[in-house]
Amino acid sequence: MKPKLTLKKIAKELEVSISTVSKALRDSPEIGEETREKIKAFAKHYNYKPNNIALSLKNRKTKTIGIIIPEIVHHFFTTVISGVEKVANEMGYNVLVCLSDNSFDKEVLNMEMLANGSTDGFILSLAKETMQKGDYHHLVEAINQGMPLVLFDRVVEDISCDKVIIDDVTGGKKATQHLIDIGCKKIALISTVDYVSVGKLRTKGYKEALEENGIPFDEDLVLRIEKMEDSESEIEQFLMDKAIDGVFGVNEHFAISAIKTIKDQGKKVPEDVSVIGFTDGELSKRFIPSLTTISQHGMRIGEESARLLIEKLERTPSEEEYYKTIIVETGLVIRKSTKSKK
């Protein structure tokens, strides 16, 4: 085990000064051709690589960005990471991944860990607990310390920073419109309680689509689920003997539970009832019938977030502050859980 080669060792070996070595390796014209070549040859031969930590300390940049997500065992987040990684790598950045586990405390802890020099900036999706609590002091602090921050997906209005979100209203509208387009008249909505912003917005899209098509909104066709754990049984009860021909579930989970229930009742999907979901995962793709869904393009969200962050990191500090919010379009992925157009 050879201890890593440093400038100092090269200098000693070649009997020149450290500065000469540094300059030679960076092709400075200050150094005579002969010496330069000698040093470069030596460095190459012994595979010298500058120490990142020293560079970070010197330059006051780490060239790594931190991403904090509520959970990783979740297809959406994993695609986001993938997107972040991709553009980060292209730009010469590393990615530090932290998990908040949806806990406020872990989120704060993670930010503190990373804020002390480990990263140049953050990409973050808020923990559920944080949103409930409404305590965002850690975000404000980070920003005040000059740490750029990009919020994605689960964002909060009153923090001024870059944001990347999807248009949930339009997404909900798209979903509902598709059901209408294929001839559904009585469309049930399985959503979350309103304080989960995502559910609220998608519900709004649902209403808008109905209205635009002159279909009256019927509260009886809407189920708002509070706890994920109870969702299956609640959906079962809700759907029991309901005269409907379409269901819009605001996530994969709800949509699939709906399909199960409908099948259990002896009805057919999509012949009798069409079902559409939100979020596109492996499950949607391979379920039987495969699920028509609104896709969130997690990859693009990740890419845009990383781009936004790096842009902030690399701009000269003189430029004035400005914050963008990028809205990533949702897509309609038509599969087998909805009828074809009549």
* Interface with a copy of itself (CB under 8 A): 1-4, 49-54, 56-57, 62, 64, 72-75, 78-79, 81-82, 85, 94-99, 112-118, 144-146, 256, 260, 263, 281-283, 286-288
Our finding on whether 40 is near DNA (CB under 7 A) is no
67 Cβ neighbours under 8 A, 6+ residues apart: 80, 81, 84, 95, 96, 97, 98, 122, 123, 124
Q: Say which entry of DNA, a copy of itself, none residue 191 contacts (CB below 5 to 8 A, set by partner kind).
A: none
Our finding on whether 60 is near DNA (CB under 7 A) is yes
Our finding on whether 132 is near DNA (CB under 7 A) is no
Our finding on whether 113 is near DNA (CB under 7 A) is no
Give strand pairing partners of 247.
188, 275
Both tokens of residue 17? 């000064």
Our finding on whether 315 is near DNA (CB under 7 A) is no
Our finding on whether 23 is near DNA (CB under 7 A) is yes
Nearest distance from C-beta of residue 255 to a copy of itself, angstroms:
11
C-beta of 50 vs 289, nearer to DNA: 50
Our finding on whether 35 is near DNA (CB under 7 A) is yes
d(CA 113, CA 50): 25
Q: How many CA atoms lie within 13 A of 109 on its CB side?
A: 9
Q: Say which entry of a copy of itself, DNA, none residue 151 contacts (CB below 5 to 8 A, set by partner kind).
A: none
C-beta of 27 vs 329, nearer to DNA: 27
Q: What are phi and psi of 92, to 5 degrees?
A: 80, 25
Exposed, middle or buried: residue 299 (CB in 10 Å: 0-12, 13-18, 19+)? middle
d(CA 127, CA 104): 6
Which residues, numbered 2-21, are part of the site for DNA (CB under 7 A)? 4-8, 15-20
d(CA 84, CA 152): 11
